Structure 1
């Protein structure tokens, strides 16, 4: 037991992802130790332990990974997670706390907890489970063979439909990938996970853009992720999340030591982007202009936004944008600007220590009293009453 605890401490020093160690249901090790009494794994532990497999993992609704490695003969369990492919921002924290049943009183500790949590790709997470399994069960498993490389709980993945992005002939190379890639990125942008999984394979060749096969694969992967990022944003994925995912996947590809690893990572990235687009899908019938408008407002709530400012940012006239916005969404553009500022205000009241006057100034309200008045009109309580109710 002591050897296992020492081993897990070494693993943690290598990966800096949370680890729990259980012996016959009793938690003997939790690293890092939380500043306050809360535990992200409590909600998911019963679900993880339902499996009869020695390795298992789940992906939460907020795209957090939780994995378990079990030794049934000794009654030992090791839980890895939470982990994610992107840094957790202030807008995600309230949803994660709700998902993990953590009360608002722990918001600062939760924020600190995620600030030190490194992003990790899905593939790397599976390898970490395999590493823990080697220590706990004294067995070496290739994670993609063990899990059937599904990324979720589906059957084995047909790798050849991603290999087509990387196969290149040494001679007489003809570029014939355009039609296929157009279809692929359309599915990503529309969040069509099922279509991605069922996309048939075709023999696609590409030109040479690397000095060897591994560098070729990595360069093509970077191109793939760049396009996934653009189409993900076009499909409704938050800009910051999209670019963080891009950074994480490209960094992970640079660590790869084989072409097959890069190929597998490509499929993970495609599915990851598509699933996230599906979860943040632009409503049907929303035009690109209006989506761009919403994205601009959501990322500029700390500026004194006017309809003219938004119209200039998206390249439309004030009157045309106002009419189009109202027609597509059913409410006024000015109302949406105010709503997004107030939503940001709620988040700051609940999950920061900024004073009401600081929040009012940050969100560019003309005065604190005006902020308080519009807040009460919208939520039927003052900012102070709301903050008090969240603590």
Structure 2
């Protein structure tokens, strides 16, 4: 039919424009995942990996998982979901755009494989060790990597934005692109439990080898709680500018870089006004998560998610306009919830008269210090209920409630539920999410 023919020609035209503009592989898959157009017609194939699917099979599987049904949240405000950014464990980058449902030709446009930085012999060797690929196959992989086009991260993002605009006629910003990528399953698996306040982790203090001005700009955005600015600055980083922090493993090097950036982000968040115990606990949580990951793309995604988390936390902490004295009190209370906290101790800590401190705190927060301490203990109790192996009586005892009945009375006052009812509701909700 003429209409379908015009749509097909339109898709082919978009693919050819992208190919001519960036000289990167472009493929159009129809609704049945069958390649309808491949540019260039032939290019160097990835060497086979024992136990792994072919690269085309992997891309087609990603295209199916990034279908409109799987990205309904991203389509809420747009006729077409933003492009899906995918990086394989072997560092190949892809852009996948599901075509609008109204397009009868259907399917997806796939751009890639592309590298964000050249893969050197040393990098390839460490990557091969990470994936237990025999040394004899290294030359084949080097030849494959040499055949792939290299686009900086920023040019790659611009290619995704251009593809989206050509296909939909709608504008899309880099911030929207990266935020959509973070919500589309790219953030990787999350640990089953949240940050445990009793856990700690020794962080490595290493230096990032890139333009210090970019680094300062990125951490300035974290101090200001500006996630959009953070994403824009992070997108300007060049992959090849990072230092090499492990001679034997590319994965270990990436993890070390991620730990370094999280360590610096922790300091920036504290300078931005985030309670230091919250910042350190957040740091522990994200570093422990990164240490459990097994491929480079997952580490990259987790690192960006951690930096955004710090910016969000700083922004949230700034929503409360308190004096330094009240903020110090809140931070002290947060750090010492498992101890008795008499007003006299807070007065000594802040260097103020107890009566004046009590009046100042209530004037600024609208809550008496004793009530604030109880509220925070109830919030902590709710967090503890989500952890395995802790009974309600243990929680009441640890948080210095006189007895179980008093704990129940206070808990119901602030939540409207008894501790048992709250725990049952939480368990029921977790089973359905």
Q: Using structure 1 for the length normalisation, give the TM-score.
A: 0.46
Q: Using structure 2 for the length normalisation, give the TM-score.
A: 0.43
